[in-house]
Amino acid sequence: MAQARRLELRLLDAEEKELVEASRHPQLADCPDTELTALQRNLRNRRDRARDIASRQRREMRGKVAPSGAKPAADNAGSREKFAALSAALQRVNAEVARRKRLSARAELRDNAEKALSLRRAAKRPVRPTSRRAKKGMRSVPNERGPDLVNPMEVGRVSQFVKDGQARRDNRS
């Protein structure tokens, strides 16, 4: 880990070093949300720039594009490592943003549940219709289904006919 940090110090400029150090644990946890989003945006811009430079250098080495500097790029290892260091810092910041979002969602869910419980406790008991009348027993509930127009014997006869036909077909094969 110490070797990776020394490599980062060698690859990054002063502003990038500050951004990467701000993405590490003690500073990251103390950072307010507004500064965290600004840090995320700055790291993303720096990472994208390093990625574009590394890509351009790789294309120069392969001869796909004319060199942009005084001499063509011979190696893009430094740019790739810079890109990797900035990507790792951005991943740490993204993880912290996601962690804070989960915590706020959990707190919001708890608050909503407490509010719903208090509303439920404060509500009056629901009024349910009574199904009994005094001294007359249960109310009769009329049957809303119409009468069956098919004779039950006919239903049984057809079912038995189908069963018999299927049995005959099964025995044939």
Q: What is the pLDDT of residues 6-23, one digit of tens each?
A: 767 778 888 999 999 999
Indicate whether 118 pLDDT > 90: yes
Predicted local confidence at residue 133, as pLDDT: 61
Average pLDDT, the chain: 86
Phi, psi of 106 (to 5 degrees): -65, -40
Structural domain includes residue 103: yes
Q: Is residue 47 part of a domain?
A: yes
15 to each of 12, 27, 67, 91, 93, how far by Cα in Å?
8, 16, 27, 18, 16
Picking from 40, 79, 83, the residue whose alpha carbon sits closest to that of residue 58 is 79
E strand segments, the chain:
132-133, 137-138
132 versus 105: the higher-pLDDT residue is 105
The 10s digit of each residue's pLDDT in 120-153 is 888 877 777 666 666 666 777 778 888 888 888 9
Residue 158 pLDDT grade (very low, low, confident, very high; cuts 50, 70, 90): very high
Pair 107, 99: CB distance under 8 Å: no
Whether 151 is in a domain gets the answer no
Closest CA to 10 of 2, 23, 74: 2
Q: How far apart are CA 95 and CA 102, in angstroms?
A: 11
pLDDT at 173 over 80: no
Domain count, the chain: 1
Range of the domain at 114: 2-121
Q: Is residue 139 included in any domain, yes or no?
A: no
Task: Note whether residue 155 is domain-resident.
Answer: no
Task: Determine the pLDDT at residue 36.
Answer: 95
Domain assignment present for residue 133? The answer is: no
Token pair belonging to 78: 């430094």
Q: Is residue 42 part of a domain?
A: yes
Residues in the chain: 173
Q: pLDDT band at residue 26, thresholds of 50, 70 and 90?
A: confident
Q: For the packed helices 14-22 and 33-62, what is the interaxial angle rounded to 10 degrees?
A: 130
Buried-exposed string 88-123: b where 16+ CB fall within 10 A, e elsewhere: ebbebbeebbeeeeeeeeeeeeeeeeeeeeeeeeee
Is residue 57 assigned to a domain? yes
> Are the C-beta atoms of 39 and 31 separated by less than 8 Å?
yes
